[in-house]
Amino acid sequence: MREEKNEVVKKFELVFGREVLEDLKRGENPTLELVSRTLSNAFFDEKKGLITLGNKKEKRSFFSLGQAKKFMQTLLVAAQLKKNIEEKQPAIGTRQLFYLLKHTIPGTNENTFDDQKTETDPIVEDIEVTLNVLREQVGLFAVPDGYIVGPMIAYDRKTGDSLDYTKMGLGGGAIPAMVEDNFYHIKEISAEFVLVVEKYQVWQLLNQEKFWKKNNCLLMTGKGQSARSPRRLLARLNREFNLPVYVFTDLDPWGYYIYSVYKQGSIKLAFFSEKAGVPKAKFIGLSTKDIEKFDIPKTNWIKLNQLDYKRIKEIKNYPWFKKKEWQEELSRLEKFGYKVESDSLVAKNISFTANTYLPTKIENKDFLP
């Protein structure tokens, strides 16, 4: 029996093959119709609770002085990715893709590509949004960063390994670069929720305190502003397994924003946000009201600086922070005048975060939306 043609390969053939060929047959200017990735096409979809791309399209034609090179480059990237999939090549990084594609065009001094950031990277994004696939589904990976522990078993489809995240030691399980189901099959979860921790130091301490065991949860960190794969994994845990997601960050505008990227995504990566956002995520803290509630000592407070105040103002204007609770929280932070780091809770006592703060917040469902 002949193998069913890969769905993604079919998409490549349709958009970057057949449609171009038909233009040629009709004697027309070969033209690609790509979903526009301009900021003006990215918006916060209130209904979905996600940042997403609109429907604007842009054309890229061969017979056009300004577009000919980019048109050709787009077809080269598409052809290479399709070839890699068909040949069942290993996944590669975007730097490696660049080198695979960089050639001198025979008989000229001209290179197919001269730069990754301005040439191959944007085309990879064009292809993602136009075919409605993630790069991880077309044989590309981004450098990951982050750890997860707790009652989950995943099956690595490529190596055949079974990964039990209750048995990963203090180091925890590395969140892989490829967390799509074609690589990473999530087999079993008995956790009741996911706690995402902004900071590695806080995560490590909670792991040592066996927080995930005592609270039957998955405990994850993306080490600050998260890379792609922790966000995507979190979205899968929420969307496919209905796990509630709580995010724990510093009390400052940077912490709030990290939360919002997990939840609604970002304008800059609007397409990815659609796939990796967790609209139902909750903010567990630190919030301004926690300071009094938990009697966080004043020595832990750090005065907000001009940059912090500026950032608070910016965030206040983001449509996805327009909810009443967040507008109030942001105003309270401005009025309070201090930021408080999540690490600082150790000053109460080393186990305070694991044994008092987080369990109390969860029990009282004391979250921001």
Q: Is 162 in the site for a second copy (CB under 8 A)?
A: yes
Q: Is 121 in the site for a second copy (CB under 8 A)?
A: no
- The count of other CB atoms within 10 Å of the CB of residue 103 is 12
Q: Output the six-digit token pair for 30.
A: 């070969």
132 three-class SS: coil
d(C-alpha 7, C-alpha 151), whole Å: 33
Q: Is 161 in the site for a second copy (CB under 8 A)?
A: yes
Segment near a second copy (CB under 8 A); pick from 1-9, 18-26, 45-53, 292-300: 292-300
Backbone angles phi and psi of 199, in degrees to 5: -105, 135
Q: Which of 90, 242, 303, 306 binds a second copy (CB under 8 A)?
A: 90
Q: Is 99 a known active-site residue?
A: yes
Q: Which of 244, 133, 249 is nearest to 198 (CA)?
A: 249
Q: Is 119 in the site for a second copy (CB under 8 A)?
A: no
Interface with a second copy in residues 198-217 (CB under 8 A): 200-201, 204-205, 208-209
Q: Is 244 in the site for a second copy (CB under 8 A)?
A: no
Segment near a second copy (CB under 8 A); pick from 67-75, 118-126, 151-159, 259-267: 151-159
Is the Cβ of residue 129 or residue 177 nearer to a second copy in the bound state? Answer: 177
Q: Is 72 in the site for a second copy (CB under 8 A)?
A: no
Is the Cβ of residue 161 or residue 325 nearer to a second copy in the bound state? Answer: 161
* DSSP result, 324-360: HHHHHHHHHHHHH-EEB-GGGGGGT-TTHIIIIIHHH
Interface with a second copy in residues 349-368 (CB under 8 A): 350-351
Q: For residues 253 and 311, is the Cβ–Cβ distance under 8 A?
A: yes
Q: For residues 245 and 237, is the Cβ–Cβ distance under 8 A?
A: yes
Per the listing, tokens 């903010």 go with: 283
Q: Which of 299, 284, 282 is nearest to 357 (CA)?
A: 284
Q: How many residues bind a second copy (CB under 8 A)?
A: 58
Q: Which of 263, 277, 270 is nearest to 128 (CA)?
A: 270
Q: Is 341 in the site for a second copy (CB under 8 A)?
A: yes
Is the Cβ of residue 226 or residue 264 nearer to a second copy in the bound state? Answer: 226
Q: Write out the residues near a second copy by the rule CB under 8 A.
A: 84, 89-93, 95-96, 99-100, 102-104, 111, 141, 143-145, 147, 154, 156, 158-159, 161-163, 167-178, 183-184, 200-201, 204-205, 208-209, 223, 298-300, 341, 343-347, 350-351
